[in-house]
Amino acid sequence: EDVVPKAIAALQSNNALGAAAAIMTTDRFPKLRARTLSNGARLVGIAKGAGMIEPNMATMLSYIFTDLAVDKAALQSTLSEVVNESYNSISVDGDESTSDTVAILSSNKVPVDSEEQLSEFKDALYALCKGLA
């Protein structure tokens, strides 16, 4: 079966709800959050996972996408800081798992013009992650 051409034909850029629904397992509803920065850059995040959530994410899978052109090192350090203050501070049933993942990807389409934009990005990323967690 030719899966890749079918997947390419099904791609869409206007809605991430299908992706959020596709990764659901024990979730009762799709987890999807989005933020728009003052310069028009966007952050969109999806997540799955409801059980076995002890600090350090447990069975959460979370994928975050942005078009802001954040330097790779800054993107990683910002994500690490935000994850520690959001996902890694929740607890549901006291168990932990090794299957946790959070990933962030940037298309680098919207340039960063100032330190204030990076600060706004961090605040938006925190709100998005806290909403998904």
Give CA–CA dist 133/13, Å, rounded.
Answer: 24
- Per the structure block, which two tokens stand in for 118? 């990076």
Q: Does the active-site annotation cover 59?
A: yes
Q: Of 25, 26, 36, 59, which residue is the catalytic one? A: 59
**Which residue type is seen at 21?**
A
How far, in Å, are 16, 65, 120 from residue 51 at the CA level? 23, 24, 32
Catalytic residues: 59
